[in-house]
């Protein structure tokens, strides 16, 4: 049995990120729920609050055998999938998020609308950091033309897994 641990993104019920993180930690699972330090101002005071950076996402570092334990946790909807399998997140990407949040507060995560002909970079999966050109958009999928290794590839991506270049 494979005992190698990988980071995965899991999708939670809306506004359950902190609770799911806590429940998974109680089960002995290594988790990371990126929290953004935000200053909130009320009429009588200013306070720093911590809110999830990426709504409905929590990251877990688990073995293959622990996937069922994660799925059976209250508030977990499912793993975030890439090419039909739970998407593996590289450790350096988790570290980058941690460092970024340690250095900055009031960080914004903004969904960018893609348009045909736009250059994009792949954020997750086998083609991470590869750049390409959006050739077609259908619902939440974008078809991206990628020239790599001397061949031309057109791949279908979830729009959330692409960023504008």
Per-residue pLDDT tens digits for 69-78: 999 999 999 9
- Is residue 18 domain-shared with residue 58, that is, in the same domain? yes
pLDDT at 149 over 60: no
What pLDDT score was predicted for residue 74? 97
- Is residue 21 domain-shared with residue 82, that is, in the same domain? yes
* Listed residues 79, 103, 127: the one ending a domain: 103
Q: Is residue 56 part of a domain?
A: yes
Within 8 A by CB and 6+ apart from 155, the residues are 127, 132, 143, 144, 146
Rounded percentage of the chain residues whose pLDDT exceeds 90: 38
In this structure, of 41-45, 87-91, 158-162, the range with the lowest mean pLDDT score is 158-162
* CATH number of the domain bearing residue 14: 3.30.70.940
pLDDT at 165 over 90: no
The backbone torsions φ and ψ at residue 160, rounded to the nearest 5 degrees and listed phi first, read -65, -15
Q: What's the domain count of the chain?
A: 2
- Is residue 137 domain-shared with residue 73, that is, in the same domain? no
* CATH number of the domain bearing residue 144: 2.30.30.30
Tens-digit pLDDT profile for residues 9-41: 999 999 999 999 999 999 999 999 999 888 888
pLDDT at 43 over 80: yes
Residue 93's domain comprises: 6-103
Q: Is residue 113 part of a domain?
A: no
Nearest to 11 by CA among 63, 109, 85, 80: 80
- Is residue 95 domain-shared with residue 123, that is, in the same domain? no
What pLDDT score was predicted for residue 144? 82
Q: Is residue 58 part of a domain?
A: yes
**What's the chain's average pLDDT?**
85
Q: Are 109 and 53 in contact (CB under 8 A)?
A: yes
Cα 38 from Cα 40, distance rounded (Å): 6
- Is residue 54 domain-shared with residue 133, that is, in the same domain? no
- Is residue 97 domain-shared with residue 41, that is, in the same domain? yes
* Listed residues 56, 73, 103: the one ending a domain: 103
Q: Is residue 112 part of a domain?
A: no
Q: Is residue 50 part of a domain?
A: yes
């Amino acid at each position: 049995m494979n005992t190698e641990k990988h980071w995965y993104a899991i999708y939670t019920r809306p506004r359950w990120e902190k609770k799911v993180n806590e429940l998974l930690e109680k089960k002995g699972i290594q988790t990371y729920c990126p929290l953004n330090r935000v200053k909130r101002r009320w009429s009588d005071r200013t306070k720093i609050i911590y809110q999830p950076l990426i709504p409905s996402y929590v990251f877990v570092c688990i073995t293959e055998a622990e996937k069922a334990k994660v799925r059976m946790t209250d508030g977990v909807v499912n793993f975030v999938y890439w090419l039909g399998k739970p998407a593996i997140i590289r450790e350096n990407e988790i570290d980058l998020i941690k460092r970024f949040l340690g250095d900055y507060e009031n960080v914004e995560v903004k969904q960018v609308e893609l348009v045909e002909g736009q250059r994009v970079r792949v954020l997750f999966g086998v083609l991470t950091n590869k750049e390409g050109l959006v050739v077609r958009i259908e619902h939440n999928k974008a078809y991206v033309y990628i020239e790599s290794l001397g061949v031309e590839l057109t791949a279908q991506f979830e729009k959330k897994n692409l960023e504008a270049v």
